[in-house]
Amino acid sequence: MALMITDECINCDVCEPECPNGAISMGEEIYEIDPDLCTECVGHYEESQCVEVCPVDCIIVDPNHQETEEELRAKYERITGESA
């Protein structure tokens, strides 16, 4: 499942540099996560790095982009060109 940032985001800027896939960027008002690039850090880390550093816990699973572990791993391989 891709993650999403809720409107509770305080724009603290700590999540964006932590994303190994470059899925996080500044939106019109708050940071946003591109579901086509978000793998929940599968292939990179055991835990989602943005969730780990978020001081307000505003990063949640995106109910509109539910994916299995296998789908996330396939997305990781497609994005990076590497096998996990």
pTM of the model as a whole: 0.91
d(CA 67, CA 35): 10
* CATH pick for 3-80 out of 3.30.70.20, 3.30.499.10, 3.40.50.620, 3.10.20.10: 3.30.70.20
C-alpha to C-alpha distances, 52 to 42, 56, 73, 81, nearest whole angstrom: 14, 10, 20, 26
d(CA 82, CA 84): 6
pLDDT of residue 19: 98
21-66 pLDDT, tens per residue? 999 999 999 999 999 999 999 999 999 999 999 999 999 999 999 9
pLDDT of residue 82: 80
CA dihedral 73, 38, 47, 50 (to 10 degrees): 170
Higher-pLDDT residue of 82 and 71 is: 71
Domain layout of the chain by residue ranges: 3-80
pLDDT of residue 84: 55
